[in-house]
Structure 1
Amino acid sequence: DISALGHRELDQHRELRDLVRLAAWEMPLLSTLQKPFTPPQRAQTPLRWRYTTYMGEQHPAQAKVVVEFRPKDLVELNEKQREKLLKLVGSRWDPLRGVVRMSSEGFETQAQNKRYLGDVIASLIAEATDPNADSFEDIPLDTRHVKRKPQYPFPPHWLLTEARKKELEGLRREQLLEEGGKVEKNLLVSGEAAIEE
């Protein structure tokens, strides 16, 4: 009989042969089931979920779930209901990108946080579509939380034209000549000369 290590080696060899046999005989049969890929449309999947993983390590931020959606992709809402939804979400609405972004990390697992966010979004949509609730038409949409970055025009005198390139090259050449003259007059200490001495 052979040792336990030899039996383990034979088991690995048998498993590898089973996988090769499967790849040779069973995998080609799967090609009959293939379908062309059509990407999902935004109206079908308006919610985009983002998770954070740390590759098997435990981390406090691992349970955080972020959801983003565009209110215009929620086809069941009309324009007034959509505006009410934006007023309800408040500062989670980014008018520059047109996206509502919400996150949750209050529960221990990602599944619980995702379920919570799904429930919050469902309750927001239910409140926005409720005909008996206040419509908030008298309240303007608040966008004070959005800080627009100023867009500064590029100064035209900073552009490198041919004349400017020649001018800069002349200035560099003058500086090199001036520095070389100072080295010759021993006004500047040459590092190479100091090392050689």
Structure 2
Amino acid sequence: MVERDAERAFNTGVEEENHTSIDVADITSLGHFELEQQREIREFTRLAAWELPLLSRYAQPFQLPTKKTPFRFRYTSYLNEDHPSAPKVVVEFSPSDLPDLTTPQQHKLIKLAATRYNPSTDTIKMNCESHRTRVENKAHLLDQIKALLNEAKDPADTFEDVPFDFRHHKPKRDLKFPKEWRITPERQAELDRKRALVAEREAKAEAEGKLLAGESQIRLVLGAPNIEGFQGEKEPVLVGLSGRKRRIRG
């Protein structure tokens, strides 16, 4: 066993001595980019093979959000890429889902939210990307929400004399296919009869040789004689003193 290991080490050393070293400077930028892609693919392959199966132990069944969790936070991940929008945090909530607010307080909260409120979906949408990390942005959003709720619960001014202003919202038209345009069985039968009649006419014209086929026209053009020699006489050109060509007008 020791002799085999020594022989293998000796042969390996001989191969390394005879092997010419690779100069990294000889590789083009495109080659370096290809190598970087291969490294990234191998890295994700190793993650999928060894580390991702370990995440199954942390899997939990999906549960619908309850009234105790009315806030929905959304994050955007760009995987292994640094992006300016990666720390951005977006929160959405509906004023009607907040159990501690009365109807006048909900109306005041909607007026305080201003353009962040969507009357079509009854949701308030806020986002923050002023800080470097998601934790800081989420904490900032929570502070803003707490300030809005405290202001909405303040009985000093209920904003009842302030009307709702939804001019910022442009409702989307939900266009639906009219029922009058739907194909009825009678209309479908009529279309089938017309299609059968057209197919019968084309078959009859093809049998009589009157049907214009594109394939036959191509063969006819390809088999036509060469017309380069029948271009006619060339138009005479007069060369002036300045060296520019002048055409003779008839």
Q: TM-score, normalised by structure 2?
A: 0.56
Match of 1:122, SS? helix
Q: Match for residue 121 of structure 2?
A: 97
Runs of 4+ in 1 over 4 A off after TM superposition: 37-41, 178-187
Change (3 A) 1:174 1:38: closer
Q: Distance in 1 between matches of 2:148 and 2:196?
A: 68
Moved more, 49-58 or 158-167: 158-167
Aligned length: 164
Cα distance per residue 1:57-115 (max 9 Å; x no partner)? 11122111110111122222222111111000012112222211111122222111111
Match of 1:123, SS? helix
Alignment counterpart, residue 103 of structure 2, candidates 65, 79, 83: 79
Alignment counterpart, residue 191 of structure 1, candidates 209, 215, 233: 215
Q: Distance in 2 between matches of 1:38 and 1:109?
A: 27
Give the aligned residue type for 2:179: P
Alignment counterpart, residue 112 of structure 1, candidates 136, 157, 169: 136
Change (3 A) 1:65 1:182: farther
Contact 1:94 1:146 in 2 (8 A): yes
Contact 2:202 2:211 in 1 (8 A): no
Alignment counterpart, residue 165 of structure 2, candidates 124, 127, 142: 142
Q: Distance in 2 between matches of 1:55 and 1:94?
A: 31
Alignment counterpart, residue 130 of structure 1, candidates 131, 140, 154: 154
Higher relative contact order (CA 8 A, sep 6+): 1
Match of 1:113, SS? helix
Contact 1:42 1:73 in 2 (8 A): no
Alignment counterpart, residue 170 of structure 1, candidates 193, 201, 207: 193
Shift of 1:42: 2.9
Contact 1:84 1:136 in 2 (8 A): yes
Identity across the alignment (%): 38
Give the aligned residue type for 2:167: R
Q: Distance in 1 between matches of 2:77 and 2:175?
A: 39
Q: Distance in 2 between matches of 1:98 and 1:64?
A: 23
Change (3 A) 1:61 1:177: farther
Q: Distance in 1 between matches of 2:62 and 2:74?
A: 22
Q: Which has the larger radius of gyration?
A: 2
Any unmatched runs of 5+ in structure 2?
Answer: 6-56, 224-250
Shift of 1:122: 0.7
Task: Find out whether 1:88 has 2:112 as its counterpart.
Answer: yes
Moved more, 110-119 or 184-193: 184-193
Q: Match for residue 62 of structure 1?
A: 86
Q: Distance in 2 between matches of 1:43 and 1:157?
A: 43
Change (3 A) 1:66 1:157: same
Any unmatched runs of 5+ in structure 1?
Answer: 4-26, 28-36
Shift of 1:166: 1.3
Give the aligned residue type for 2:85: A
RMSD: 3.1
Q: Distance in 1 between matches of 2:197 and 2:173?
A: 39
Q: Distance in 2 between matches of 1:38 and 1:157?
A: 43
Q: Distance in 2 between matches of 1:145 and 1:179?
A: 58
